């Protein structure tokens, strides 16, 4: 079942794999390595090709580095200097001892439940040197840690979906494949678009970038696309654009449902056989519950979409084989659970769920792997052991947890207490990129006594840590590349030795574990090379009944193994549709729950028992829009992966005057006297950042867009009145929960004002190294000073 790729010659025998795709490694006559696109990929991403450039390498963390005050005066010293303090470089043997002593101290004084090791983030591709697996395995070995639950990507979706249909991960793996869609779909309605920009990525590494070709095929077969989004560019190529105010998708969907229900266009047979709750939906939509019929006119007032357009779209949806897709961004919002519930409710009323060509999607084009025809299997993995600490936080509530130890919070029907975090340990993520309201986060970040980070680069999170341990890059270690539905295994071979004193996360954790007397427990006596073989063999045996996979040595020699594409199409919910009693869903009723007794029973005012329009905390219809009249969206960046490689030439080429562009509608720019390319100040009561105006007709009036990932660069590391200089939208986003159900991030619910920046422009310092102090004369560690 597998084909091995024979290398065509020594010149091209090596592959590099990143979350953005496969590269070939070529060498100059002098033997210098260079990354080039892999010829097997018809639409390769330029991201990552320049990761060996001087610009990228100049910002490497080269040696273990300790914040001067921490090293001089002990844990907890002068925490307000985090971000601006100097660093002292320390040799590895000392660093291992210092970290081990500090972990031992915190564990002995406060217990493992005072260590936050959630450590959210994407890290790098590669199944063994997977930073998250390594840190979790390490912290479990030393007695456990407080976890972070769910994700920033689809936190609201992952809590609501199992109640109403199935877990997110299962759904994502079951998306009807693009080939089947091309053959059967007629109308593809995309809430939040299907941007090729985002489909560059698969966590773990794409093989061939397939989405552009998939959309071309669908268009060639006559599929019509509707882009429901404030931004026209959210679908590349021909599509009908239906601009909508951000945060209002539920209202639009209720308007569509009103047409379907009142004109008898709803599929009652499907609703009664496969769903529960259609009656409650009907009563709410017709206004029997609250006296307000959710008519297209009502929806139009909220969404800004003309009522006639809503009626037409409802007719088109009902009369065609229609795929209704939702981006992840539309649930990364206040009451984000409701948007996904509404999407499912709409698709259920059309009754095409489980058929080829129709139904719903929740993430086509968020990643390259969604809608792939390749095999869905779980790959080689590093065992993380078990966690003796039961405390957790919903991942996006980290600042709340740090600021309010012991406070209670609701989550998915239960009530919990925030732990008292004394030490933060991070590897493979960049919280000063990913968290909202970073000024508030600066305050929260001052609470713990010690913050340890493994990083490859001097990111803002590294600069704000107490202990920074230098991690190697994927090109500096051997690993196995794999992602489900990408159809391949890749030998990711070391290209060069790690720079300076950098080491892999595995070696770093092994060194600390050794100093804590737990070396063998962590490594099980295996070297990194032995772990690769061990993990590979476990994977090979686990899948031997469905796949013939070569022995490790043959795989390693070949460099790449491609799995055969299954010849059976993937159709989401096909089994359930064929036999709902034989293949019930794992919801309480076994059916799709348009009304959930269970959720209704939680009694949450911000998450009732069925898809409901609830005003977002911030939106263009709120009172606050008087003062902050623009809705700021922060989309995923075209030229990098989150904050990763923002310092690369490719990412920097997308900046204007060294700052991240902000998209503005010409009317909004004119009203503020802002010219294209001009630096503007984006602000609200939480903070301010600078960005460069990029004026476009492609954006709905009243909306502004900044891509995420410009390295956070405050003029001063303090919680108030600090101007962010580089264009990081999290200087202004709100750190509030989607609801009591999920406690997820609401990064997209954000109002701002924008004005031309006057005065002298502060220089961008995001890509400067921190200051280093000379080695301390007496490096006595003052662990008692807390």
Active site residue ranges: 120, 122
H or E segment and range at residue 440:
helix 438-445
Query: Binding of ligand MGD at residue 198 (CB under 6 A)?
Result: yes
Residues in the chain: 786
3 state DSSP class of 103? helix
Selected binder of ligand MGD within 112, 179, 300, 430 (CB under 6 A): 430
Residue 153 or 387: which CB sits closer to Mo ion? 153
**E-strand stretches of 699-762:** 703-706, 723-724, 751-756
Residue 48 lies near ligand MGD (rule: CB under 6 A): no
Query: Could you say which residues in the range 398-427 bind ligand MGD, by CB under 6 A?
Result: 427
In the complex, minimum distance from the CB of residue 673 to Mo ion, in angstroms, rounded to a whole number = 36
331 CB neighbour count, 10 Å cutoff? 33
Q: How far is the CB of 124 from ligand MGD (least distance, A)?
A: 3
Kindly tell me which residue out of 428, 559, 608, 658 binds ligand MGD, with binding defined by CB under 6 A. 428
Q: Give residue for tokens 């080491």.
A: 503
Q: How far is the CB of 151 from Mo ion (least distance, A)?
A: 6
At 557 the three-state DSSP class reads helix
From CA 297, how far away is CA 561, in angstroms rounded?
56
- Contact predicate 468/500, CB 8 Å: no
Contact segment (CB under 6 A) with ligand MGD among 79-87, 321-329, 527-535, 598-606 equals: 321-329
Q: Is 129 near ligand MGD (CB under 6 A)?
A: yes
Task: Please say whether the beta carbons of 475 and 16 come within 8 A.
Answer: yes
Sheet (strand 467-470) strand order: 87-89, 65-67, 467-470, 450-455, 423-427, 115-116
CB closer to ligand MGD out of 419 and 431: 431
Phi and psi torsions of 324, nearest 5°: -105, 115
Instruction: Give the list of residues 6+ apart from residue 184 with CB closer than 8 angstroms, or none.
Output: 321, 355, 356, 357, 358
644 binds ligand MGD (CB under 6 A): yes
Q: Work out what residue 191 binds among Mo ion, ligand MGD, none; the CB cut-off runs from 5 to 8 Å by kind.
A: ligand MGD
CB closer to Mo ion out of 134 and 153: 153
Residue 635 interacting with ligand MGD (CB under 6 A)? yes
Torsion of CA 326, 327, 332, 337, to 10 degrees: 20
Phi and psi of 73, rounded to 5°?
A: -115, 5
Tell me the CA end-to-end span of the chain in Å, nearest whole number: 60
Rule CB under 5 A: which residues touch Mo ion?
153
Residue with tokens 């490689």: 645
Q: At closest approach, how far in Å is the CB of 452 from Mo ion? A: 24
Among 131, 215, 362, 741, binds ligand MGD (CB under 6 A): 131
- Nearest residue (CB) to ligand MGD, 387 versus 635: 635
**Considering the rule CB under 6 A, would residue 148 count as an interface residue with ligand MGD?**
no
159 backbone dihedrals φ, ψ, rounded to 5° = -90, -35
Is 193 a binder of ligand MGD (CB under 6 A)?
A: yes
Cα separations in angstroms, 730 against 128, 487, 634, 669, 706: 31, 36, 8, 22, 10
β-partners of residue 479 are: 492
44 binds ligand MGD (CB under 6 A): no
Query: With CB cut-offs between 5 and 8 Å by kind, which of ligand MGD, Mo ion, none does residue 433 bind?
Result: ligand MGD
- Among the listed residues 68, 455, 466, 593, the single contact to ligand MGD using CB under 6 A: 455
DSSP-assigned letter for residue 82: T
Give the x-and-dash track for 339-368 against ligand MGD (CB under 6 A): ---------------------------xx-
- The Cα–Cα gap between 317 and 295 comes to 17
Number of residues in contact with ligand MGD, rule: CB under 6 A?
62
Q: Minimum Å distance from CB 19 to Mo ion?
A: 11
Over the window 211 to 250, marking each residue x when it contacts ligand MGD by CB under 6 A and - when it does not, the resulting string is: -----------------xxxx--x---------x-xx-x-
Would you say 276 or 423 has its CB closer to ligand MGD? 423
* DSSP conformation class of 761: P
CB closer to ligand MGD, 178 vs 602: 178
- For 258, list phi and psi in degrees, rounded to 5: -60, -45
Binding residues for ligand MGD (CB under 6 A): 121-124, 129, 131, 152-153, 191-193, 195, 197-198, 200-201, 228-231, 234, 244, 246-247, 249, 327-330, 332-333, 366-367, 427-430, 433-434, 454-457, 459, 471, 505, 633-638, 641-644, 708, 729-730, 733, 747-748
């Amino acid at each position: 079942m597998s084909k091995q790729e024979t290398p065509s010659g020594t010149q091209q025998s090596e592959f590099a794999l990143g979350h953005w795709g496969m590269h070939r490694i070529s060498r100059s006559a002098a033997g210098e390595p260079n990354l080039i696109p892999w010829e097997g990929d018809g639409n390769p991403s330029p991201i990552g090709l320049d990761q060996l450039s001087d610009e990228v390498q100049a910002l490497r963390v080269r040696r273990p580095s300790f914040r001067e005050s921490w090293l001089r005066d002990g844990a907890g010293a002068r925490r307000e200097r985090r971000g601006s303090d100097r660093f002292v470089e320390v040799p590895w043997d000392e660093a291992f001892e210092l970290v081990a002593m500090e972990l031992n101290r915190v564990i002995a004084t406060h217990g493992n439940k005072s260590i936050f090791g959630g450590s959210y983030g994407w890290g790098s591709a590669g199944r063994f040197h997977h930073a998250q697996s390594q840190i979790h395995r390490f912290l479990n070995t030393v007695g456990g840690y407080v976890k972070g639950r769910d994700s920033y990507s689809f936190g609201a979706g992952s809590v609501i979906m199992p109640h109403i249909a199935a877990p997110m991960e299962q759904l994502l793996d079951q998306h009807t494949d693009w080939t089947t869609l091309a053959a059967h779909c007629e109308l593809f309605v995309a809430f939040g678009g299907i941007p090729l920009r985002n489909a560059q990525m698969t966590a773990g590494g794409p093989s061939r970038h397939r989405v552009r070709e998939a959309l071309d095929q669908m268009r060639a077969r006559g599929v019509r696309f509707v882009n429901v989004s404030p931004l026209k560019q959210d679908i590349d190529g021909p599509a009908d654009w239906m601009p909508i105010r951000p945060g209002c998708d539920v209202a639009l969907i209720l308007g569509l449902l009103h047409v379907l229900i009142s004109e008898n266009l709803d599929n009652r047979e499907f609703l009664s056989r496969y769903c529960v709750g259609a009656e409650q939906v009907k009563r709410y939509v017709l206004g029997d519950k609250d006296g307000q019929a959710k008519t297209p006119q009502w929806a139009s007032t909220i969404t800004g979409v003309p009522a006639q357009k809503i009626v037409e779209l409802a007719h088109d949806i009902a009369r065609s084989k229609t795929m209704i897709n939702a981006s992840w961004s539309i649930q990364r919002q206040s009451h984000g659970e409701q948007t996904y519930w509404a999407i499912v409710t709409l698709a259920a009323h059309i009754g095409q769920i489980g058929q080829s060509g129709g139904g719903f999607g929740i993430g086509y084009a968020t990643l390259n792997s969604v809608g792939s025809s390749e095999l869905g299997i779980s790959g080689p993995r590093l065992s993380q052991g078990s966690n003796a600490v039961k405390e957790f936080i919903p991942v996006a509530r980290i600042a709340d947890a740090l600021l309010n130890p012991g406070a209670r919070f609701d989550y998915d029907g239960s009530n919990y207490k925030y732990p008292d975090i004394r030490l933060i340990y991070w590897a493979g993520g960049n919280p000063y990129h990913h968290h909202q309201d970073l000024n508030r986060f600066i305050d929260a970040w001052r609470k713990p006594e010690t913050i340890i980070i493994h990083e490859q680069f001097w990111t803002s999170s590294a600069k704000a840590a107490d202990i920074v341990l230098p991690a190697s890059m994927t090109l500096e270690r051997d690993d196995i590349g794999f992602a489900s539905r990408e159809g391949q295994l890749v030998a990711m071979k070391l290209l060069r030795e790690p720079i300076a004193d950098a080491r892999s996360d595995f070696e770093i954790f092994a060194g600390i574990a050794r100093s804590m007397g737990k070396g063998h427990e962590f490594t099980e006596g295996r070297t990194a090379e032995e772990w690769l073989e061990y993990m590979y063999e476990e994977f090979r045996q686990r899948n031997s009944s469905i796949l013939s996979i070569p022995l490790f040595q043959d795989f390693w020699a070949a460099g790449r193994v491609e799995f055969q594409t299954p010849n059976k199409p993937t159709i989401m919910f096909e089994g359930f549709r064929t036999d709902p009693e034989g293949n019930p869903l794992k919801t309480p009723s076994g059916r799709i729950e348009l009304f959930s007794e269970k959720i209704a029973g939680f009694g949450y005012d911000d998450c009732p028992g069925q898809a409901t329009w609830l005003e977002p905390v911030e939106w263009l219809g709120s009172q606050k829009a008087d003062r902050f009249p623009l809705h700021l969206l922060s989309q995923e960046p075209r030229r990098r992966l989150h904050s990763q490689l923002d310092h690369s030439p490719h990412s920097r080429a997308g900046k204007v005057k060294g700052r991240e562009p902000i998209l503005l509608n010409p009317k909004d720019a004119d009203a503020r006297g802002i010219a294209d390319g001009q630096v503007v100040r984006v602000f609200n009561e939480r903070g301010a950042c600078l960005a460069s105006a990029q004026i476009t007709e492609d954006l709905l009036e009243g909306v502004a867009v900044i891509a995420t990932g410009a390295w956070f660069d405050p003029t001063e590391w303090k919680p108030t009145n600090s101007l962010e200089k580089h264009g990081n939208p999290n200087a202004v986003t709100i750190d509030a929960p989607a609801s009591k159900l999920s406690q997820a991030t609401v990064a997209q619910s954000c109002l701002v004002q924008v004005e031309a920046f006057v005065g002298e422009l502060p220089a961008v310092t995001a890509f400067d190294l921190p200051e280093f102090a000379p080695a301390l004369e007496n490096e006595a560690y003052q662990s008692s000073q807390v």
